[in-house]
Amino acid sequence: MLLTIAIPTFNRLRQLRRALRAIDQLVVPENVELVVAISNTASGDGTFRYLERVESLRSDYKVINQSRGRTIMTPNWVVLSYVVPRNSDWVWFHGDDDEILDPEALVKIFDLIKKYDSLSPHLVSLTQANRAIGPERAFTGTLFEIADTFGYHEVLGWMSQLFMRGKVYFQMMDDYAISHHNNNSPERLNARCVGNFPHSAALLEMNFRKTAIFFHSRLIDEQVPPLEKKVYVRKRKDLELERRDFNFTDRFFYDADWISKILENRGMRGSVNFFRYVNKSFWDLLISIILSELRLVDPKTRLSLGEKINSLQRLVLRIECPEKRSGLNSVLCKLKDASAIGSHTLRADAVEDIERIWGHDVYDRAVLI
């Protein structure tokens, strides 16, 4: 059985070294052959030379190593799929700044796959170690059932949690490659309405009724503590906003539209839990973005406030709970009224009124509640 750990990397040499050291510590089951596939897209921090050396010494490493200074039109994830062996039985997606914590991780995962072999699981979703409190537990069901219980983003959002059959990986990457073709820039991604989690939408759409395993465990985690990472990402994105005049927040609304479309096409609605986004609900994230833009005189975003409110409305229609839909519809009406106000001062007053009636959903960071 061939397992490929697939890592896209860019300018994170220190973190990549740490991730690879952890992979080298793994206990590999007897019937499993392990390959590590890495795509480096023009890093300028020494990654190119490091991977040149690694590839020359390791036959189990498959590397696409693009030097700095090249014009890269194809996204790193897509380039990575070129070097992942097509005969891989399983693929573990792995972020370059994440780290496998448990040397027995592969033994545990393949024991689960063997245990539920009669169900033919297509995907194993792993929790982040820092969000797994309590004993290890495995849950099975269709991918939609798992997402409906624990949250769409909780099950499919974080790349390093995705341990999937090879055919599932390549289906996902084929879809990703189409949406990202010659679109390796934020402006072009926005123009093509590509969300922040296109891989999640592709996996749910293609494996909606397929069996999945949700493994509550502490096998893998981010190297950077979540709070520190949040500050780092925000700073980097602020620089991007200044430099490129685009707003990454628009892409959350493209994610919302994909979720709405997938559920609508199947005549389905999701539970409140389905829409969980870490410690909040996804609609709360969208509302907070809209309220932030209502406060601005001239928000420099591609999507208008009206388009964002319509996207939120489509998402609300896909919520199973009538009480939750009713409460959010009240907020939607006030958002529409506020967006029609011309005076910046009066609009700010309307935002304050909305915040007073808006009931936030708050979750603990722990995945299992």
CA atoms of 313 and 318, how far apart (whole Å): 9
Would you say residue 229 lies in a domain? no
148 & 51 share domain: yes
Please give the C-alpha separations between residue 336 and each of 145, 254, 292, 305, 350, in angstroms, as whole numbers: 33, 19, 14, 9, 11
CB atoms within 10 A of CB 120: 10
85 inside domain? yes
Residues 108-112 have a mean pLDDT of 98
State how many domains the chain has: 2
* pTM recorded for the entire structure: 0.89
Which residue would you say has higher pLDDT here, 68 or 306? 306
Using one digit for the tens of pLDDT, what is the confidence trace for 228-261?
555 444 444 444 444 344 468 999 999 999 999 9
216 and 283 inside one domain: no
Residue 168 and residue 256 share a domain: no
pLDDT at 241: 43
Assess if residue 188 is contained within a domain: yes
Distance CA 183, CA 169 (A): 21
Same domain as 259, residue 129: no
245: left (phi over 0), alpha (psi -120 to 50) or beta: left
Same-domain check for residues 273 and 321: yes
Query: What is the pLDDT of the chain when averaged over all its residues?
Result: 89
Are 204 and 288 in the same domain?
A: no
Do residue 112 and residue 155 come from a single domain? Answer: yes
* CATH assignment of the domain containing 132: 3.90.550.10
pLDDT per residue over 67-83, tens digit each?
765 545 577 888 899 99
Write the DSSP string, 18-56: HHHHHHHTPPPPTT-EEEEEEEEES-SSSHHHHHHHHHH
Q: Which residues is 61 bridged to in the sheet?
A: 36
Cα angle 352, 357, 359; round to 5: 115
User: In the chain, what percentage of residues exceed pLDDT 70?
Assistant: 88
Are 177 and 114 within one domain? yes
Give the per-residue pLDDT at 92. 98
- From the centroid of its chain, how far is CA 329? 27
SS (H, E, C) 53-117: HHHHHCCCEEEEEECCCCCCCCCHHHHHHHHCCCCCCEEEECCCCEEECCCCHHHHHHHHHHHCH
Q: What is the pLDDT of residue 240?
A: 44
Same-domain status, 172 and 273: no
Instruction: Specify whether 24 is located in the same domain as 143.
Output: yes
Same domain, 315 and 184: no
Q: Which residue has the higher pLDDT, 140 or 71?
A: 140
More confident residue, 298 or 128: 128
Domain assignment present for residue 227? The answer is no
Contact between 312 and 290 (Cβ < 8 Å):
yes
CA distance 181 to 97: 25
**Does the residue 43 lie in any domain?**
yes
pLDDT at position 175 is: 82
Could you give the CA distance from residue 244 to residue 344 in angstroms, rounded to a whole number? 26
Query: What's the pLDDT score for residue 234?
Result: 44
> Which is more confidently placed, 279 or 189?
279
Identity of the residue numbered 30: E
Domain end position, chosen among 221, 241, 268: 221
Q: Are 10 and 43 in contact (CB under 8 A)?
A: yes
pLDDT for 193: 64
- Whether residue 369 lies inside any domain: the answer is no
Residue 208 lies in a domain: yes
Q: How far apart are alpha carbons 337 and 329 in whole angstroms?
A: 12
Q: Do residues 311 and 251 lie in contact, with contact meaning Cβ atoms separated by under 8 Å?
A: no
Which domain range does residue 63 map to? 2-221
Residue 362, in any domain of the structure? no
Residue 363 · residue 278 · CB < 8 Å: yes
The pLDDT of 44-67, averaged and rounded, is: 91
In 3D space, the residue among 166, 160, 90 whose CA is nearest the CA of residue 129 turns out to be 160
| Shared-domain flag, residues 181 and 302 | no
- Output phi, psi for 367, to 5 deg: -70, -45
